[in-house]
Amino acid sequence: MARVLRQWWTESNRDMLVLSQDKLIKTLVAAPASRFEAVGGTINGIEFAGNPSSDETLILAHGFGSGLGFFFRNVDALLDSNKYRRVVLFDWLGMGGSERPSCRAAPVRGWSEFTTSFCNSRFNPADAVRFFIDPLHAMLEEHDIDNATLVGHSLGGYLSARYALQYPRRLSRLVLASPVGFPEKPHDALPQSKLPTGLRIVDALWSSNVTPQQLVRLMGSTRGRHNVKRALRGRIPHLQESEVDLLADYLYQITVADPSGEYAINSLLEPVASPNSMGVYAREALHSRMNDLDSSISIKVLFGDTDW
């Protein structure tokens, strides 16, 4: 019943999501795309054929609140490089057009071990990481992908690094584009009781698994679509108007779809403030873990002042 009401209020459903994805890709990417589903249809993906003489597959992994469609500007240029046999875009489990497990099976983290609620799956950070990387591994195994370059952006960068640490055999290169979760939390982090009132409210909402997607769902179709387009223009101001319209519809559809993987914002990350700074940190930082990365994997980490 909750899903029916949500779809009525947001004027959205699974078919409309897939339609918006296909329209975005077909209109803005010159190369033809093919379906690349995996794990019994659990993982949504598309692939583009490249240089048949190459043996390297390039895999692009999106970040939080995003989806495979956000790579529309990259595909043709990557194919034109002739470096890759194929380019694969996929959605993490619980995000984009991939299957969205219900809240009891999604990476929901409670306030504490004593928290009880219908949706509290009691995922710890390691459980939440496995929620995402195990289906990715199953996808690579199912399609027998070796010698892959895995490119992850933002939260996708964090998850790609965790994948490489857990399952290095299928990868030859790892590229982390503006990844979250590298630094350790500051040693002088303020306890919740000493946070300013505004930050204390943010911390309480974050800990309660309130997500940006939930706020858009509450707005309904008209206001939700308007605010998504306005936010998109603000974050990516260089987009052409035709790109904005297609991308805004796609972003709205993946935002108001059933809540699932978005709960990773709390199970994997946490807001932290110190006397001199504030930011979002991984509950299990990459900094001390990357020394364990298999030496056969080449790694590149990219940061820039105009990152998404």
CB 60 within 8 A of CB 79: no
Pick from 142, 146, 40, 49: nearest CA to 98 = 40
Give residue 188's pLDDT. 94
pLDDT band for position 122 (cuts 50, 70, 90): confident
Split at pLDDT 50, 70, 90, the class of 103 is: confident
Tokens standing for residue 241? 């108007």
Token pair of 288, please? Answer: 């001390």
Q: Encode 141-175 in three state secondary structure.
A: HHCCCCCEEEEEECHHHHHHHHHHHHCHHHEEEEE
Helices (H), the chain: 2-10, 14-28, 75-80, 125-142, 155-166, 197-207, 212-235, 241-256, 264-267
Pairing of strands 277-282, 148-153: unpaired
Prediction pTM value: 0.95
Asked if pLDDT for residue 218 goes beyond 70, the answer is yes
Return the H-helix or E-strand segment holding 274. strand 269-274
CB atoms within 10 A of CB 222: 9
Residue 231 identity: A
Q: Is residue 112 scored above 60 in pLDDT? A: no
* The predicted structure's pLDDT at residue 116: 47
* Vertex 102 angle, CA 10 and 113, to 5°: 120
Predicted confidence at residue 118, as pLDDT, reads 56
Question: How are beta strands 45-49 and 86-90 bridged, if at all?
Answer: antiparallel
Q: Cβ distance 54 to 8 under 8 Å? A: no
* 117, pLDDT greater than 60: no
CA distance readout (Å), 284 to 97, 113, 182, 204, 269:
27, 18, 9, 20, 8
In the predicted structure, residue 114 carries a pLDDT above the cut 90 = no
Residue 115 confidence (pLDDT): 47
**19 Cβ neighbours under 8 A, 6+ residues apart:** none
Which conformational region is residue 56 in: left (phi greater than 0), alpha (psi within -120 to 50 degrees), or beta?
Answer: beta
**Could you tell me which of 153, 142, 112 has the C-alpha nearest to residue 36?**
142
> What band does 196 get if pLDDT is binned at 50, 70 and 90?
confident
